[in-house]
Structure formats: structure tokens, C-alpha cells
Amino acid sequence: MDTTSAKYPDITVHLTDRDSNAFMILGLCQRAARAAGLSPAEIKAFQEEATSGDYDHLLATAMRWFSVE
């Protein structure tokens, strides 16, 4: 993915070789966001956007917000 288009390109979420379960992906993204120092409000905004659709929407949201590997 082109990380220059990510909202937070300096936050990397490692999804390869991981369980592709939606809850796992959401948790990995939230953990990375917390570790990078995002505010609780910003993490909540990510969660609300990511869970407002289906599995593909979750993945697309993760890629819009973070650098995904």
C-alpha cells in the first residue's frame, strides 16, 4: 500500500501471518494506535469507522488509517 495516503503512515500494523479474524485485526490496529500515543477519542473514531461496515470495510479502513504490512 502507498503509505503516503494513510492518515497515520508512521503507525505500522502487521497483519501478514496473523489470524484474519475481524476482532483480531481491530485489536491489532487499536493496540498499534495506543502504542503510538493516539488519543482515546481518535482510537474510538477509528473503531467506529472500522466497524461501520463489513469485513472488507474493516480492512479498507485499517489501510486508510495506518501503514499495513
Q: What is the pLDDT of residue 64?
A: 96
Nearest to 31 by CA among 46, 52, 51: 46
Domain count, the chain: 1
Q: For 1-56, write each residue's pLDDT tens digit.
A: 444 589 999 999 998 887 789 999 999 999 999 999 999 999 999 999 999 999 99
* H-only helix segments in 1-69: 22-35, 40-50, 55-65
pTM for the full model?
0.88
Domain that holds residue 53: 3-68
Q: What is the pLDDT of residue 3?
A: 46
Q: What is the pLDDT of residue 52?
A: 97
Q: What is the pLDDT of residue 4?
A: 55
Q: What is the pLDDT of residue 18?
A: 75
